[in-house]
Amino acid sequence: MPVAIRVIPCLDVNAGRVVKGTNFIDLRDAGDPVEIAKRYNTEGADELVFLDITASSDKREITLDVVKKTAEQVFIPLTVGGGIRTIDDIRKLLKAGADKISINTSAVENPQLISDGSKKFGSQCIVVAIDAKRNTAGSWTVYTHGGRTETKLDVIEWAKKCVELGAGEILLTSMDKDGTKDGYDLELTEHVTNAVNVPVIASGGAGKKEHFVDVCKKGASAVLAASLFHFKELSIHDLKSYMKENSIKVR
């Protein structure tokens, strides 16, 4: 039997607080990450992703402290991403209580970080996040720097390469779908899950319960959403009941 599909809320953390939206211009405070993490844990979240969007490096220490405090009170896996550039950054986060770290731009700029990280800490704790945007050739291109920089990399090829280098999971975000609430990019998810033999976390576009079921049927091992959960449009409990009714194995 396969493992249960994981339902993962994603929290954007800026200088120690959860903020709404990923837009740097209009950050609104959405609360204390530890309290929010505890709430999601109680509601049945299978894992949490913290995305550190703190721009200044001195304030990153605050994020380490948040990871520490969350890990002390929340006993489910915790993945932390954002601003990780070195093995030492990874080590610090794992020591603070993160179970996995997620790298995006730095993996593209320095693919050796994937191999060094997985050799040092095991592939299970190295997640590579890929921001994918559909191109005119009918495929998808990898973007970095929070979607601001186009690369020459093809998403499918890059996903394969990441796994070869030792990535234990792929966190796949569709930039086309992100924020639209009209469903995950099913075609993209299917292509990537067929190409790699590690779990793929589908992200970007979830708007209603049906979307989660649809993307699971395309091979996603986990489903991620942010605003849908933050704004209480959908509770994790209701979502899981619905998934179960639709023959998706959930915890």
Partner 1 sequence: MTAKIAIIDYGMGNLRSVSKAIELCKAYVDIISEPEQVKNYNAVVLPGVGSFAPAIKIIKDKGLDIAIKKHLEQKKMFLGICLGFQLLFSKSYEEGLYEGLDIIKGSVEKFIPKPDEKLIIPHIGWNTINISENIYAKQMYRGINNNEFVYFVHSFYCKPEDKKIIATETNYSVDFCSSIATENIWGCQFHPEKSSNIGIAILKNFVSKCEDLNACCN
**Annotated catalytic, 12?**
yes
Q: Is 68 in the site for partner 1 (CB under 8 A)?
A: yes
- Among 89, 131, 178, 185, the active-site one is 131
> What number of chain residues touch partner 1 (CB under 8 A)?
32
88 counts as binding partner 1 under rule CB under 8 A: no
Q: How many CB atoms lie within 10 A of CB 152?
A: 7
Question: Cα(205)–Cα(185) distance, rounded to whole angstroms?
Answer: 7
Of 22, 67, 42, 18, which is closest to residue 179 (Cα–Cα)?
A: 22
If the CB atoms of residues 38 and 161 are measured against partner 1, the closer one turns out to be 38
The yes or no reply on residue 33 touching partner 1 (CB under 8 A) is: no
- Tell me, yes or no, if 99 is annotated catalytic: no
Which of 168, 183, 204, 205 is close enough to bind partner 1 by CB under 8 A?
168
Among 12, 46, 178, 214, binds partner 1 (CB under 8 A): 46
Minimum CB separation of residue 90 from partner 1 in Å reads: 13
* DSSP assignments along 154-223, one per residue: EHHHHHHHHHHHT-SEEEEEETTTTTT-S---HHHHHHHHHH-SS-EEEES---SHHHHHHHHTTT-SEE
Is position 190 an interface residue for partner 1 (rule: CB under 8 A)? no
In this structure, the number of other CB atoms found within 10 A of the CB of residue 3 comes to 11
Active site residues: 12, 131
User: Which residues here bind partner 1, judged by CB under 8 A?
Assistant: 1-4, 6, 41, 46, 68, 71-73, 75-77, 94-97, 99, 121-125, 168-169, 197-199, 221-222, 251
